[in-house]
Structure formats: structure tokens, C-alpha cells
């Protein structure tokens, strides 16, 4: 019979056996930690296996092995954080039992598994591939090597925070969304629609330049839209009209426009068309009046000359 805490031979962890399910574990993804026990002694044994991340307990499992058991697999699930970890396991509360006798607490010869060093990676774009193996960490369509060469952030899909992903953004360090950039999604991102004078592009938090001589075609308002963009733009932020001439290397400014206060009523596109139609109608009426007066003056001048000629003949 063994005294309490005596060491019992040929029982415990198999030498060096602790491993994990993932070759390249990533933060937040469940990883399973495995180990193997054996009981080559002449006693039945029970106990508890505790798994640790550094010195923090991950989980524990209860085991019971009959005498002469070759091996028994054990495991726990682990949701690691990014960084370096040391995974370990140990046997606690080990008891041996024999027929007709009370269980004795013992210390297994192989009570600790060999520690395993694990590097857990970040997964910035949440595509299931850690950043170390992922050639495009932010999943913006530009590989990390190119982003490093360009000076953009390989861990941010939108380096300049203009709501256009770097993969389609033609001006990667300018937060202004412009027509010159030829950004495919510019029409859905700008707080304004396109007009024949150019393109209005808003900048949040950046007042670039106070602009003059803003021209609104037919007196129409330029429609604001896209609430998700507008809510991030402060009142009185200056917007600017970008030239539609794509050959120009720099934006040409045509005017300025400040965001109205929230109490101002927004003018819809159909209302704009109504304004344009009304304005065109008024222009036509004005032209008719001008033609009438010109005709009256010409005809009156003709009659006056005839009367003058008759009176002098």
C-alpha cells in the first residue's frame, strides 16, 4: 500500500505529448489542445487533468484509467488571444484504488506534460487566415507588400478613411472622394449627386478651401443623400466642386457649399426638376415678352416714319 503523496511508477503523460488542432492558430478561433495519458501500473487510477495557458487555467477534465491501460486521449477547447503562449498540462488529485481497500492519494511519475510554445496570430480581415500567412491582411484587394511600398496601411482596408476601400480608391491618401479619382462607388458614397458643373465631394473634418462663384445649374439645388455619410459630416463643413476633366492632375474648384442646419428642409430630386421646369417656363415667357416689345418697337418705328414722310410730302 502506498502512503499519501507517494510517487507511483509507470503512470501519467506520455513523454512530450501535448499538441493543438491548428497548425497556425488565430485569435478567437476555437483550438483544441490534446494530450495522452498511460497507466502501466498495477493499479486503477483516477484524477483530474488541468490545462493551462501560461499560468491561467483553461479547463480541466476528469479521467479514470484501469490498470495496464496503454494510452488514453484527453483534450480541452481553447479560445486564445493573439500573442505568445505556453500551454501546459498536469495531473492533480490522483488516486489509486485496489479491491477491498480505500483509495490512496498518489503522485504520478509523469504528472506534467512537456510544455508547448504557441504563437497565436491576429486575423484582421476575419477570413480565417492569420496575418502571418495572409498575403492581404485587410482584404482590400491590395497585397501587403504593395501596401508597404505605397505607404498605405496593410491592416486597414480604407487607409484614408474616405469610405472607399483601398483596392478601388485611386487617391489612397486623400480623404476627399472625387470624380477625378474614378472611384467606382463614388456616386453611392458622396453626400451629393453629380451635376453638369462638376461633382460635389464632401470632406469630413477638413475645410480645404473657401470657394467662390458657386454655380447651380438652372437654379437647382444639388441633392444631398446617403444618410450614413451625412451623419458624419459636421454643420458648416465646406464642400467643393471637383472638375469633371479627368486629364487634370489636380482638382479644380468651382464653388463652395456649407451643410445646412438639420432644421432646413431638404430639396428632393423631383422638386428640383419642378424648379427647373418652372424656371425654364419663366425664361420662355420672358423671351416672348421681349420679342413682343421688340416687334412693337420695330412696327411703331415703321409707322412713325410713314406718317412723318406723308406730312413732309
Tally helices (H) and strands (E) across the chain: 4, 12
Instruction: For residue 13, give the nearest of 39, 45, 41 by alpha carbon.
Output: 39
Confidence of residue 276 (pLDDT cuts 50, 70, 90): confident
Work out the average pLDDT over 54-68: 92
Tell me the three cell numbers of residue 261: 442646419
* Better-predicted residue by pLDDT, 64 or 209: 64
List, in order, residues 6 or more apart from 225 with CB less than 8 Å away: 191, 192, 193
pLDDT at 293: 84
Give the model confidence (pLDDT) of 169-182 as tens digits: 555 554 444 433 33
pLDDT at 299: 81
* Better-predicted residue by pLDDT, 97 or 185: 97
Give CA torsion, residues 159, 165, 166, 169, to 10 deg: -110
Please compute, for residue 76, the number of CA atoms within 13 A of its CA located in the half-sphere on the CB side: 21
Kindly state the helix (H) or strand (E) to which residue 34 belongs, with its residue range. Answer: strand 31-39
Residue 204 burial (10 A CB sphere; 0-12, 13-18, 19+): middle
Give the angle subtended at the CA of 87 by the CAs of 81 and 91, to the nearest 5°.
135
pLDDT at 76: 96
0.85 surpassed by pTM: no
pLDDT at 56: 95
Dist CA 259 CA 169 (whole Å): 25
pLDDT at 167: 58
pLDDT at 161: 60
Confidence of residue 291 (pLDDT cuts 50, 70, 90): confident
Q: Which stretch of 185-194, 232-241, 270-279 has the lowest confidence by average pLDDT?
A: 185-194
Dist CA 217 CA 201 (whole Å): 17
Confidence of residue 85 (pLDDT cuts 50, 70, 90): very high
Answer yes or no: is pLDDT of 30 > 90.
Answer: yes
User: What value does the mean pLDDT of the chain take?
Assistant: 67
Asked if residues 132 and 139 have their Cβ atoms less than 8 Å apart, the reply is no
Give CA torsion, residues 307, 308, 309, 311, to 10 deg: 80
Amino acid at each position: 500500500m502506498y502512503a499519501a503523496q507517494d510517487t507511483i511508477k509507470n503512470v501519467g503523460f506520455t513523454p512530450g505529448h501535448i499538441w493543438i488542432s491548428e497548425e497556425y492558430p488565430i485569435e478567437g478561433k476555437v483550438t483544441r489542445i490534446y494530450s495522452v495519458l498511460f497507466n502501466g501500473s498495477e493499479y486503477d487510477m483516477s484524477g483530474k487533468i488541468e490545462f493551462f495557458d501560461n499560468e491561467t487555467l483553461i479547463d480541466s477534465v476528469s479521467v479514470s484509467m484501469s490498470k495496464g491501460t496503454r494510452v488514453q486521449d484527453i483534450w480541452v477547447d481553447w479560445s486564445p488571444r493573439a500573442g505568445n503562449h505556453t500551454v501546459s498540462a498536469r495531473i492533480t488529485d490522483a488516486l489509486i484504488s485496489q479491491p477491498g481497500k480505500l483509495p490512496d492519494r498518489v503522485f504520478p511519475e509523469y504528472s506534467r506534460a512537456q510544455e508547448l510554445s504557441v504563437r497565436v496570430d491576429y486575423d484582421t480581415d476575419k477570413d480565417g487566415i492569420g496575418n502571418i500567412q495572409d498575403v492581404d491582411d485587410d482584404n482590400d484587394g491590395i497585397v501587403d507588400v504593395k501596401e508597404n511600398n505605397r505607404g498605405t496601411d496593410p491592416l486597414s482596408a480604407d487607409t484614408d478613411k474616405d469610405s472607399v476601400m483601398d483596392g478601388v480608391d485611386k487617391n489612397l491618401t486623400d480623404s476627399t472622394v472625387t470624380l477625378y479619382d474614378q472611384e467606382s462607388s463614388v456616386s453611392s458614397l458622396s453626400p451629393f449627386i453629380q451635376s453638369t458643373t462638376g461633382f460635389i465631394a464632401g470632406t469630413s473634418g477638413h475645410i480645404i478651401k473657401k470657394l467662390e462663384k458657386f454655380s447651380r445649374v438652372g437654379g437647382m439645388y444639388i441633392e444631398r443623400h446617403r444618410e450614413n455619410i451625412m451623419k458624419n459630416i459636421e454643420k458648416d463643413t465646406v464642400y467643393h466642386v471637383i472638375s469633371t476633366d479627368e486629364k487634370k492632375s489636380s482638382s479644380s474648384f468651382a464653388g463652395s457649399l456649407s451643410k445646412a442646419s438639420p432644421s432646413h428642409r431638404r430639396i428632393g430630386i423631383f422638386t428640383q426638376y419642378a424648379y427647373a421646369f418652372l424656371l425654364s417656363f419663366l425664361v420662355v415667357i420672358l423671351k416672348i415678352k421681349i420679342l413682343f416689345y421688340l416687334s412693337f418697337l420695330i412696327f411703331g418705328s415703321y409707322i412713325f416714319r410713314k406718317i412723318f414722310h406723308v406730312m413732309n410730302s
